[in-house]
């Protein structure tokens, strides 16, 4: 598993922007750090919920959202470090089998926000095997941009939880900072779904 | 299986409040004191029960539910509050309504000293993270206290924990026969 980090790797910004262009109506939850910047750089939209903290919370937040909105596609876009901190949530997702939830882990094998220290996925952890082991049967890795449309198809099909590990280059594209005001993002998101304030 | 004969009335009161309050998701790490609510959630077609590997997931799950327009509550033991501490940042950072029911350990005739440290720190840990704490220790007033906390969370948008005193559960039987 470690060897493929040196070979086929996708550009994170290009992957995220093209995936989101293919799923314009999907609700998107982002894990803190680079994943939030990638999604914002692809174009801000009210159906995006950006996390700036609560590390490990992206996937379980997306689970609660997916269960509440079964007729919408929900996509969680996060990094390897963020997913590792909340790795048990893959078991909680598998237990519920939400048809409309896709977890996309942008895996560069490093903690990008803190100085590019190696993460467990550079040191032997195979997140696809982890997801499958937890019970997410539709779990796979992609290393080429040709398979990007496959991810979009799973998002749109809503036929069972999907876990995708995307091998990305360990680079740091220019910062693109989404709003940090969690209350504003929350209210904007709910308004887009037609939900009233309490 | 019909458990109603053996289920304490205060546990039945709690589920009635959650049901009447249109709760659609119940996320939990189990405890004996939550067993009736968990069983009832699993049996109710309008409520999604979400079993967690660690309590902090539940803080995120119930926030995601609110984003999607559903009311959700988190059930845990006092030990679980410690697992949640950083994830509570999510609640304050985005002003999510939040309601959790916490069964207490380590405070009343607990046989297991390992429950003491977190049990004694539970209320303080919640308050340090900006969560209002209510406590119910009398079986006859559990319903009233839970309803008050529930309304503060979902009518006023507050973050509220109700601690359910260990005396409600009684002494845990350690010897199996």
Q: Please enumerate in sequence order all residues whose Cβ is within 8 A of that of B131, keeping only pairs 6 or more positions apart, or say none.
A: B88, B91, B98, B100, B159, B160, B161
pLDDT of residue B24: 98
Q: Which of A56, A62, A186 sits opposite B56 (nearest CB)?
A: A56
* Interval B40-79: pLDDT, tens: 999 999 999 999 999 999 999 999 999 999 999 999 999 9
Shortest distance between the Cα of A70 and any Cα of chain B, in A, equals: 10
CB contacts < 8 A (A, B):
132
Max intra-chain CA distance, chain A? 52
Residues of B in contact with A63 (CB under 8 A): 50, 57, 60-61, 64
The answer for B97, left when phi > 0, alpha when psi is -120 to 50, beta otherwise, is beta
pTM for the complete prediction? 0.96
- Asked if A76 is an interface residue toward chain B (Cβ–Cβ < 8 A), one would say no
Distance set, CA A158 to CA A23, A70, A99, A161, A172 (Å): 12, 9, 5, 8, 32
Shortest distance between the Cα of B4 and any Cα of chain A, in A, equals: 27
Contact B71, B65 (CB under 8 A): yes
Shortest distance between the Cα of A55 and any Cα of chain B, in A, equals: 7
Q: Do A69 and B56 touch (CB under 8 A)?
A: no
pLDDT of residue B6: 84
pLDDT at A34 over 80: yes
Contact A73, A26 (CB under 8 A): yes
- Asked if B51 is an interface residue toward chain A (Cβ–Cβ < 8 A), one would say yes
* Interval A75-121: pLDDT, tens: 999 999 999 999 999 999 999 999 999 999 999 999 988 999 999 99
Which residues of chain B have a pLDDT value below 70? 1-5, 174, 177
Residues of B in contact with A95 (CB under 8 A): 50-51
- Asked if B148 is an interface residue toward chain A (Cβ–Cβ < 8 A), one would say no
- Asked if B48 is an interface residue toward chain A (Cβ–Cβ < 8 A), one would say yes
């Amino acid at each position: 598993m470690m060897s493929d980090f040196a070979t086929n790797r996708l550009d994170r910004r290009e992957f995220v922007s093209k995936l989101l262009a293919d799923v314009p109506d999907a609700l998107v939850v982002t894990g803190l750090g680079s994943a939030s910047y990638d999604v914002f750089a692809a174009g801000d939209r009210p159906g995006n919920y950006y996390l700036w903290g609560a590390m490990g919370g992206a996937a379980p937040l997306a689970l609660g959202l997916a269960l509440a909105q079964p007729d919408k596609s929900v996509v969680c876009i996060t990094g390897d470090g963020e997913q590792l901190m909340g790795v048990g949530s893959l078991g909680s997702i598998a237990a519920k089998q939400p048809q409309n939830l896709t977890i996309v882990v942008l895996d560069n094998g490093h903690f990008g926000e803190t100085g590019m220290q190696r993460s467990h996925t550079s040191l032997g952890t195979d997140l696809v095997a982890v997801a499958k082991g937890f019970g997410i049967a539709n779990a796979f890795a992609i290393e080429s941009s040709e398979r990007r449309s496959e991810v979009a198809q799973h998002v749109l099909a809503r036929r069972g939880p999907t876990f995708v590990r995307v091998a990305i280059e360990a680079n740091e594209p220019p910062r693109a900072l989404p709003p940090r005001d969690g209350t504003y993002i929350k209210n904007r998101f709910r308004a887009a779904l037609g939900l009233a304030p309490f | 299986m019909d458990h109603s004969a053996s289920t304490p009335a205060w546990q039945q009161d709690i589920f009635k409040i959650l049901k009447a309050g249109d709760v659609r998701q119940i996320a939990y790490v189990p405890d004996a004191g939550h067993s009736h609510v968990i069983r009832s959630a699993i049996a109710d077609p309008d409520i999604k029960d979400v079993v967690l590997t660690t309590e902090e997931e539940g803080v995120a799950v119930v926030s995601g539910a609110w984003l999607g327009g559903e009311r959700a509550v988190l059930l845990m033991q006092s030990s679980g509050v410690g697992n949640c501490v950083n994830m509570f940042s999510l609640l304050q950072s985005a002003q999510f309504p939040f309601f959790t029911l916490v069964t207490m350990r380590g405070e009343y005739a607990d046989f297991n000293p390992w429950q003491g440290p977190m049990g004694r720190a539970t209320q303080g840990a919640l308050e340090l993270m900006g969560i209002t704490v209510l406590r119910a220790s009398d079986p006859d007033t559990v319903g009233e206290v839970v309803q008050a906390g529930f309304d503060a969370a979902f009518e006023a948008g507050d973050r509220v924990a109700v601690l359910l005193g260990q005396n409600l559960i009684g002494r845990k039987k350690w010897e199996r026969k």
